[in-house]
Amino acid sequence: MATRLEIPEWTGSSLTVASFTNYVRSIYGVFDGKFEQLALQTIAPELENAIGRLTEFVNRQRSYDETPELAKADSNRDALWNALYHAWHYAMQLDPEHALYKAALTLKSEMDAYKGVARHEITKETLELQGLRRDLDCVENSEALSALGLTNIAAALFAANDAVAEITAQRDQSRGERIGEKGGDSTAALRKAVATVLIDAYRQVNAAARINPSGTVSNVIKEVNGIIAHYKDVAAQPAKRPGKEEPEPEPAPEASAS
């Protein structure tokens, strides 16, 4: 017996707001022009309204996200992380008999675990660097940093991370106050409302497929399921900041021929 084709009730709760908005737009794009065949005539205006509210929210959020002060603090933090990581990386290129190689090796598991942290979303990077600070806070790692001359750089990195955390907290408080003043949607309330509309639409399309399994309805379900599969992959990946590429260390120069 063939498995019935259906849309799963996946609402993208783990997506960022921007990705969630794109997800809903993509679903609407599949439904558009077929609302009557899918028995979605009453839900179509709700989807349109949901997309409008999401778009307004994302635009408003972006206007608050990256203030000049936050951008500067984040840039300093990334520069300090790159200085720490690259200095350690080159120490790892030393001959194993060199006095500093052992210190670099001591830090290997911690530094490897945080490679690429500067490419992550601002809040995610803050939390990860707080984790690095805890990981390095032991006698053995402190001595290794000192031996490599990296104690001051590490301290400056964590101070910069604290500064980003403070500015972010102030920004979020300001954002909440502005949304409250304007009577706008909160993230949780808006996403819950849109998720309800999506589930209603999916259930209606699944019902339409059971009553009249036409080629059009089946194709819509296949397209929607493909979109859902894509955004499940997006949700599983760490958020990256466009244009924030962590420079890779250059290869160690070859030894000159004797």
Choose the final residue of a domain: 128, 151, 177: 177
Domain of residue 159: give its range: 68-177
56 is a domain residue: yes
Distance, CA of 121 to CA of 62 (rounded, Å): 13
Same domain? 104 vs 152: yes
Three-state secondary structure call for residue 85: helix
Is 21:58 a contact under the CB 8 Å cutoff? yes
Same domain? 93 vs 130: yes
Claim: this prediction has a pTM higher than 0.85? no
Same domain? 97 vs 137: yes
Segment 157-194, tens digit of pLDDT: 999 999 999 988 887 666 555 544 444 456 778 888 88
Number of domains in the chain: 2
6 is a domain residue: no
Segment 34-93, tens digit of pLDDT: 888 888 989 989 888 888 888 877 776 655 555 788 889 999 999 999 999 999 999 999
| Nearest Cα to Cα of residue 221 among 231, 200, 203, 206 | 206
Is 154:132 a contact under the CB 8 Å cutoff? no
Choose the final residue of a domain: 177, 196, 214: 177
255 is a domain residue: no
Same domain? 48 vs 83: no
